[in-house]
Structure 1
Amino acid sequence: MPRDAPDWIIERRREPGDRIADLRVAAHHTQESFCEATGISRSHLQRIESGEADPRYGDLLRIAAALDTRVSLLVD
């Protein structure tokens, strides 16, 4: 994400990451156990949860499956 992105875009990028982190914690997963369950590297998961990286659709599918939820819940 370019550093000159408007604040509203930066904030909207954080929302799915916050939701993923909240659901992961509620499911009693550490980042390490969640990475094992999803096949996503810990550094990439950290960047997704912090809003620094946009998750690819495949990442969202893996995350939703590990959380037993729908992709739409993660990004809505």
Structure 2
Amino acid sequence: MPSDQPTWVLSRRQAIGDRVRAAREHSNLSQFRLGEILGVDHKTIHRIEYGVSDPSPGLLLQITRAADVPLANLVR
């Protein structure tokens, strides 16, 4: 599915997804378990980690709490 987003947006989305995955793994959480904690489907976590979808600011904040990482670590 082609995207109408600029390349730099797609690149940043992927970088954030990579950081979310690293934080989740560092916290020993599976995508399924993180989804349970956040009240979202594990597929949502998968789409964020692979840069397919943008997480909302609220969801990013929830991820930081669940993975015990500062928000700045995910969006730097």
- Cα deviation for residue 70 of structure 1 reads 1.8
Output the TM-score relative to the length of structure 2: 0.85
Question: For structure 2, which runs of at least 5 residues remain unmatched after alignment?
Answer: none
Q: Which runs of 5+ in 1 are unaligned?
A: none
Amino acid at match of 1:64: T
| Residue matched to 1:27 | 27
Q: Runs ≥4 in structure 1, deviation > 4 angstroms?
A: none
Aligned-partner Cα distance in 2 for 1:60–1:31: 14
Count of residues in correspondence between the two structures? 75
Identity among equivalent positions (%) equals 36
Counterpart amino acid of residue 26 in structure 2: A
Do the aligned partners of 2:23 and 2:69 also contact (CA within 8 Å) in 1? no
- CA deviations over 1:17-70 (Å, ceiling 9, x no partner): 000001111111111111112222212111111111110011011100001122
The alignment's TM-score, normalised by the length of structure 1, stands at 0.85
